[in-house]
Structure 1
């Protein structure tokens, strides 16, 4: 029975931290791409489009990571493991 108990604290912190780092890297890369190629505002400017995609993707990665941690904590609370 004790082997089924899951150590949730460190796994959640590690997952949250790694997803946050990935999201921040994507966001920073996106900002850099946007700033270096802001002169040509066109849909043919591939670096600008990729930069916008990285900024939006970084935001979604961050929000999904936080949502998974919250869902896992709620699941643990409902099962009485908190």
Structure 2
């Protein structure tokens, strides 16, 4: 029984912070790439396309990281751990 106990508070916060930083880095890199060659708005502009992809990926990374932490907290509450 004691082997199944895990200390999730600090681990969850550290994981959430790390995933948030990675998501922000991806979003900022995407914005920089978009601004690098903003004058050419076409599908052949590789900086624009990769920048949009980085912004979308950054938001996705951020949301997945937050939802994972919320799911772990809910699991802990259902199992009686706080």
User: Do the two structures share a fold, i.e. TM-score over 0.5?
Assistant: yes
Q: Quote the residue 1:26 is aligned against.
A: 26
Q: Quote the residue 1:48 is aligned against.
A: 48
What is the CA deviation profile of residues 41-71 of structure 1, one whole-angstrom value per residue up to 9, with x for unaligned ones?
Answer: 0000011100000001100100000000000
Give the aligned CA root-mean-square deviation in angstroms. 0.6
Q: Quote the residue 2:72 is aligned against.
A: 72
* Structure 1 runs, 4 residues or longer, greater than 2 Å off: none
CA distance in structure 1 between the aligned counterparts of 2:75 and 2:28, rounded to whole angstroms: 33
* Equivalent residues, number: 82
- Is the aligned partner of 1:63 residue 2:63? yes
1:2 CA drift (Å)? 1.9
Normalised by the length of structure 2, the TM-score is 0.97
Structure 1 unaligned spans of 5+ = none
Normalised by the length of structure 1, the TM-score is 0.97
